[in-house]
Amino acid sequence: MESQPLLRIHNTLSGQKEEFAPVQPGRASIYTCGPTVYRNAHIGNLRSYLAADWLRRTLTAFGYTVSHVKNITDVGHMRQEMLERGQDKVLAAALAEGKTPQEIAEFYTKAFHDDERKLNIEPAHEFPKATENVEQMVEFVRSLESKGYAYEVEGNVYFDVNKFEGYGKLSGQLAKGLEEGARVEADPLKRDQRDFTLWKAAEPGRELKWKSPWGDGFPGWHIECSAMVLRYLGDEIDFHTGGVDNIFPHHEDEIAQSEGVLGKRHVRTWLHGQHLLVDGLKMAKSTRNTYLVSDLERRGFDPLAFRYLCATAHYRTRLNFTLRSIKAAQKGLSRLRLALRSGNGRLTKKAQREGEALRTEFWNAAADDLDIPSALAIAWRTARSRWPLEVKRDLLLDFDRLLGLDLLKTDAVPDVSSEIRTILSDRDTLRRKRSYVDADAARSTICDKGYEVRDGSKGSRALPLPAWVSDDSISSSGDVESFLEEPERVDLTVSVVAQQGCAELERCISSVRRWLGDTKSEIIVVDNGFDDDCVSFVDEVAANDTRVTVFHADHFLGSAAARNVSLRQARGRNILVIDTSVEVKGDIFSTLDAALADKTVGIVGRWGVVTNDLRSFDEADASGDVDAVEGYLMAFRREMLREVGLLDEKYRFYRHLDLDFSFAIRNRGYRSVIDVDLPVQRHDHVDWVSTPEEERERLSKRNFYRFLHKWGERKDLIASRQ
């Protein structure tokens, strides 16, 4: 690069963009908090590593010699909060899988490297393992102890937070620190609950342990990074990176440790990447919204489409991942690559000059706190330009050093069948004859067969559409049209959401169909993206029964969102929501219809609950008014949705969702009633049975508080009080 722009990077410590001034002229050092290898890295973790990669590529492009170190948190180590409780995730995973901790760590380390390679993340120059640096950690703790920053109690060593003056300067979260300390069960051995563990004594029978001056034990997580930064990059480094959740306590504690030992600043710039959300929520196993690179590949995406998606948002802003957004990214990437295969225009001085102006703009964007979205936009301007191919390619090749999108890669184009080729050439003839209507008809025939038609100067081509484009599955409830304002077409809409378990689904749908009789009705089935393959069953039912419509979600949408798909599409005067655990044993439909003819009734079902305090709910055992109708079976007039709205999609797990809906209806002044004589049978609720207990509790609790927050003060809505 001729004249280098000023490189400015945001420093979490100062809260400002700062001009980069390297510790050593011409060199730059980066330490990245690496993976904990007892599980796969999810795409959120990878977004953080991409931010570090963009930093590194920028520094390299600006001529710095970069040393990049990324640690591997392996056997014997654990998250601090787990450690405080004496639990070890690597160990636990090993036990659960019947493997040795080393085997587990090795397996996931390899998987991690594979993922990084697929995303074109340049490998760090060193990947030090925690287990290979325990001696350095012990030395580090000894040093802290001798300087008065640490104290030992019964073989445990703690960092004395009150001794370090600058504690809290990175996160500014002193108060939160106190809270965090209190949240973990109070440790009676600590002088201050904010003190954190540097070394933990091994409990009897523990296999993974190391010798130390304080007896056998193992190191804490924060000390791991402090010791390795020092060993591999020296006593002052340029950048330390991680995700925002690393700021507190991990990096705050690292500063305390490192500056405690060194007596001076250790890290110049702290760079933190904002989180990746999935479907608008924090990624968590229990929310069923974590994705791995392999999940993307399985769906036919190029892993670099994820890199492209990350390039569309600045690293300090949140990015929402949805299947829709990755589809768009995949399209964007393919189109960008394609645009680089064509160029027109002659090589003129003007084109060259304009090209160079864009080059400058591109690198200016990179230099401005890694503004990759702007850089990507400039790559697009280049691709769309009318410059000759050689100018475009020269620029894009240069840009790809930063973007890392393999822009000059030619996407593989599989063979097109002879049948398609014939239709295509017929279509070309039609076009030449200006029979555009017929030509368009030919195009749709080709598209129906799963191809995209591209017209070019040398004739047309048909490109097979990847699975993700041609499939018509839905990614959110908004993907289906809302018929709420449309007139009714039938008397009843039955809404079924396929949960886990095809047998249950089959039993439920068959029983509904058997007893519907000649009720003017429709059945809307939403396949909520579960892995078990009920797809063929519901498709078959839909093919043989015109009353049945099926929607396939391309992933688990959440309980409320899936239900909303059917509610948006419903065209019945009344709507019956039924859970797949319920089997219909007689004509329930006319009874429900009659109940809803009473306009004081807002919602009717078979099972209901009553409450005194809106916190605990008891199952009601007699017909009549209840506080809420349970979601196993509930019916209401469709027009009710116009009053209370659809279900609250924040409820991804089903619990309390039904109560929330009933209360919304009661809030409009209607009654909730049940009829215990309805001929229905409730079987095991698969969703409940198949959710592990610990997870159930977490999910239930979350929904419980969501409900409480909304309705907790509304005792006036309790039926028995009216």
Strands of the sheet with 633-637, listed across from one edge: 548-552, 521-527, 490-498, 572-578, 633-637, 601-605, 671-674, 624-626
**Closest CB to ligand AMP: residue number:** 243
Q: Minimum CB separation from ligand AMP for residue 410, in Å? A: 31
Could you tell me the smallest distance in angstroms from the CB atom of residue 91 to Zn ion? 20
Q: Nearer to ligand AMP by C-beta: 136 or 246?
A: 246
* Residue 44, contacted partner among Zn ion, ligand AMP, none, CB below 5-8 A by kind: ligand AMP
Report the residue number, 247 or 505, with the smaller CB distance to Zn ion.
247
- Cβ distance to ligand AMP smaller for residue 295 or 354: 295
Buried b (16+ CB within 10 A) or exposed e, 466-497: bebeeeeebbbbebbeebbeeebebebbbbbb
Q: What is the β-pairing status of strands 237-243 and 27-32?
A: parallel
Closest distance to Zn ion from the beta carbon of 33 (Å): 3
Identify residues 209-228 at the interface with Zn ion (CB under 5 A): 225
Closer to ligand AMP by Cβ: residue 248 or 663: 248
Shortest distance (Å) from residue 93 CB to ligand AMP? 13
**Please, what is the minimum distance in Å from the beta carbon of residue 722 to ligand AMP?**
46
**Shortest CB 707 distance to ligand AMP, Å:** 26
| Residue among 33 and 516 whose Cβ is closer to Zn ion | 33
Residue 245 interacting partner from ligand AMP, Zn ion, none (CB closer than 5 to 8 Å by kind) = ligand AMP
User: Which tokens go with 73?
Assistant: 């948190």
- Per-residue x/- mask for Zn ion, residues 31 to 60, rule CB under 5 A? --x---------------------------
Residue 47 binding target from Zn ion, ligand AMP, none, CB below 5 to 8 Å by type? ligand AMP
Measure the CA–CA gap between 423 and 446, rounded to whole angstroms.
Answer: 7
Residues paired with residue 719 on neighbouring β-strands, in sequence order? none
| Shortest spacing between CB 33 and ligand AMP, in angstroms | 5
The answer to whether 62 and 99 are in contact (CB under 8 A) is no
Name which of ligand AMP, Zn ion, none residue 220 binds, using a CB cut-off of 5 to 8 Å depending on partner kind.
none
CB of 44: closest distance to ligand AMP in angstroms?
3
Q: How far is the CB of 299 from ligand AMP (least distance, A)?
A: 19
| Local structure of 551: helix, strand or coil | strand
Alpha helices in 191-313 (DSSP H): 221-233, 252-262, 293-298, 303-311
Residue among 275 and 666 whose Cβ is closer to ligand AMP = 275
Smallest gap from Cβ 278 to ligand AMP, in A, equals: 8
3-state secondary structure 609-629: EEECCCCCEEECCCCEEECEE
Contacts of 482 (CB under 8 A, 6+ apart): 568, 569
Binding at 289: pick from ligand AMP, Zn ion, none (beta carbon under 5-8 Å per type): none
Q: Which partner from the list ligand AMP, Zn ion, none does 225 bind, CB cut-off 5 to 8 Å by kind?
A: Zn ion
Out of ligand AMP, Zn ion, none, which partner does residue 48 contact, by CB within 5 to 8 A per kind?
A: ligand AMP
Cα 507 to the chain's mean position, in Å?
A: 33
Considering Cα of 239, then 240, then 245, then 250, what sign does the dihedral take?
A: negative
Least distance CB 130 / Zn ion (angstroms): 10
Q: Whose Cβ is closer to ligand AMP: residue 81's or residue 139's?
A: 81
Which CB atom, from 40 or from 569, has the smaller least distance to ligand AMP?
A: 40
Encoding tokens for residue 23?
């510790």
Give CA 474 to chain center in angstroms.
17
| Spatial separation of the C-alpha atoms in residues 421 and 6, rounded to whole Å | 54
Q: How far is the CB of 51 from ligand AMP (least distance, A)?
A: 8
Q: Which is nearer to Zn ion, 223 or 717 (CB)?
A: 223
11 binds, among ligand AMP, Zn ion, none (CB under 5 to 8 A by kind): none
Q: Give the nearer residue to ligand AMP in terms of CB position, either 33 or 442.
A: 33
Nearer to ligand AMP, 76 or 605 (CB): 76
DSSP for 183-204, written as a single string:
HSPP-TT-SSTT-EEEEEEPPT
Alpha-helical regions (H) of 385-462: 389-403, 418-432, 436-448
Tokens of 531: 């892995």
- Work out how close the CB of 241 gets to ligand AMP at its nearest, in angstroms, rounded to a whole number: 8
CA distances, 664 to each of 338, 477, 614, 635, 670 (Å): 51, 20, 14, 14, 9
Binding to Zn ion, residues 221-280 (CB under 5 A): 225
Number of residues in the chain: 722
- Regarding 548 and contact with Zn ion (CB under 5 A), the answer is no
Bridge-based pairing of strands 617-619 and 608-611 is antiparallel
Spatial separation of the C-alpha atoms in residues 174 and 678, rounded to whole Å: 58
Minimum CB separation of residue 274 from ligand AMP in Å reads 7
Cβ-based nearer residue to Zn ion, 275 or 431: 275
**Contact by Cβ (8 Å): 107, 115:** no
Instruction: Report residue 323: phi and psi, to 5°.
Output: -65, -30
Q: Name the residue nearer to ligand AMP (CB basis): 247 or 553.
A: 247
Q: Would you say 285 or 341 has its CB closer to ligand AMP?
A: 285
Burial 570-598 (b: 16+ CB within 10 A, else e): bbbbbbbbbbbbbbbeeebbebbbebbee
What's the min distance (Å) between Cβ of 482 and Zn ion?
Answer: 47
Torsion of CA 469, 475, 480, 484, to 10 degrees: -170
Query: If contact means CB under 5 to 8 A according to the sort of partner, which of ligand AMP, Zn ion, none does residue 276 touch?
Result: ligand AMP
Alpha carbon 228 to its chain's center:
30
Half-sphere exposure of residue 651, counting CA atoms within 13 Å on the CB side? 24
Nearest CB to ligand AMP, comparing residues 318 and 714: 318
User: Whose Cβ is closer to Zn ion: residue 33's or residue 372's?
Assistant: 33
**Measured between alpha carbons, how far is 620 from 72 in angstroms, rounded to an integer?**
55
* Closest CB 45 distance from Zn ion, rounded Å: 13
Q: Which C-beta is closer to Zn ion: that of 225 or that of 641?
A: 225
The site partner of 605 among ligand AMP, Zn ion, none (C-beta below 5 to 8 Å per kind) is none
- Using CB under 5 A as the binding criterion, the count of chain residues that bind Zn ion stands at 2
Segment interacting with Zn ion (CB under 5 A) among 25-33, 414-422, 556-564, 710-718: 25-33
Q: SS3 breakdown of the chain: % helix, strand, coil, rounded to 5?
A: 45, 20, 35
- Shortest separation between residue 65's beta carbon and ligand AMP, angstroms: 25
DSSP assignment letter at 532: S
CA–CA separation, 593 and 576 (whole Å): 10
91-128 per-residue burial string, b: 16 or more CB within 10 A, e: under 16 = bebbeeeeeebeebbebbbebbeebbebbbbeebeebb
**Site of interaction with ligand AMP (CB under 6 A):** 33, 35-36, 44-45, 47-48, 242-243, 245-246, 273, 275-276, 283
Binding site for Zn ion (CB under 5 A): 33, 225
